């Protein structure tokens, strides 16, 4: 059974820190980007729980003591869609099923996904033009997905939290 995910707290966190950095977390802009670190912070604000399992968990204690899933795009995806373990739980969904508090990820071609965004607003009929995101690396507050260039996009709906 999944505990509730607090979408409102996650969205509030995203909007508060979209254009600046929370001093409790390192900034990874110069180490490949801060986008997934920021998305993880938002997810943590909404879930209230980390998974301290070495290597395959989802946690941040310091820049040198964090899981790959906290800051890596593909690692975060794999963590969220896993079938067991504590932490937020996600499922890949079509664009029409996204809600504020979910995430999107971009791929620039046929290869890996390389950028994560946190969804803060969705229009009545979800479209790239009315799904707004907050993100780091290319710091953005309430930016429409239609303003980005990408080849592929995927959406991950957060269904709840395993405790």
Quick one: pLDDT at residue 109? Answer: 80
pLDDT given at position 93: 98
pTM of the model: 0.97
Residue 4 is predicted with a pLDDT of 98
β 60-62/65-66 pair status: antiparallel
> In this predicted structure, what is the pLDDT of residue 118?
98
- In this prediction, residue 44 carries a pLDDT of 98
C-alpha–C-alpha distance, residues 156 and 154, integer Å: 7
Contact 55, 62 (CB under 8 A): no
* Cβ atoms of 156 and 116 closer than 8 Å: no
* Residue numbers of the chain with a pLDDT score lower than 50: none
163: Cα within 13 Å, side-chain hemisphere: 8
Q: What pLDDT was estimated at residue 32?
A: 87
Q: What domains are there in the chain, each with its CATH number?
A: 7-19+29-162 (3.90.1720)
């Amino acid at each position: 059974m999944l505990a509730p995910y607090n979408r409102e707290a996650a969205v509030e966190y995203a909007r508060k820190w979209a254009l600046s950095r929370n001093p409790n977390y390192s900034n990874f802009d110069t180490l490949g980007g801060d986008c997934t670190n920021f998305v993880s912070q938002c997810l943590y604000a909404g879930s209230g729980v980390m998974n301290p399992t070495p290597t395959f968990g989802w946690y941040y204690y310091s820049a040198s003591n964090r899981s790959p899933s906290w800051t890596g795009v593909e690692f975060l995806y794999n963590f969220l869609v896993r079938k067991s373990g504590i932490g937020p739980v996600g499922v890949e969904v079509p664009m029409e099923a996204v809600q504020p508090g979910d995430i999107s990820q971009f791929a620039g071609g046929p290869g890996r996904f390389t950028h994560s965004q946190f969804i803060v607003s969705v229009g009545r009929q979800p479209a790239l033009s009315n799904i707004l995101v907050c993100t780091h690396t290319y710091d953005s507050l309430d930016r429409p997905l239609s303003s980005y260039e990408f080849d592929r996009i995927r959406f991950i709906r957060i269904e709840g939290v395993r405790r």
